[in-house]
Amino acid sequence: MAQHPQITIQLVPIAAGSAAGMMSAFALARLRDGSEVVSADSVLSGQVTGDHEAVAALKRRYDTIRADAQPKRVTQQAIEDAIRKWTR
């Protein structure tokens, strides 16, 4: 999956201290009409909204996570190393 051209996996090191995305899963989407929506999930429920403030807040959260993430090649090497370690 990590080698799919439309999928990017990046690890966020614990040492980065980035807890910005650890409280819930979320997805940002731009619709055909150009509007943006966010889907956010918690343990108990999920919510989809096009509220501009909510979308902007989650875009900032995404930017924080992305800034703390390892580059794609570093992540891919870490995944390959873990696979080798756990499949011996």
Judged against a pLDDT cut of 80, whether residue 18 lies above it is answered with no
Task: Give the residues across from 73 on adjacent strands.
Answer: none
30-42 per-position pLDDT tens digit: 999 999 999 988 8
Nearest to 14 by CA among 69, 59, 66, 61: 69
| CB-CB contact of 28 with 62 (8 Å) | yes
Q: How far apart are CA 22 and CA 25, in angstroms?
A: 7
Amino acid at 70: Q
- What distance in Å separates the CA atoms of residue 26 and residue 3, rounded to the nearest whole number? 22
pTM of the model: 0.72
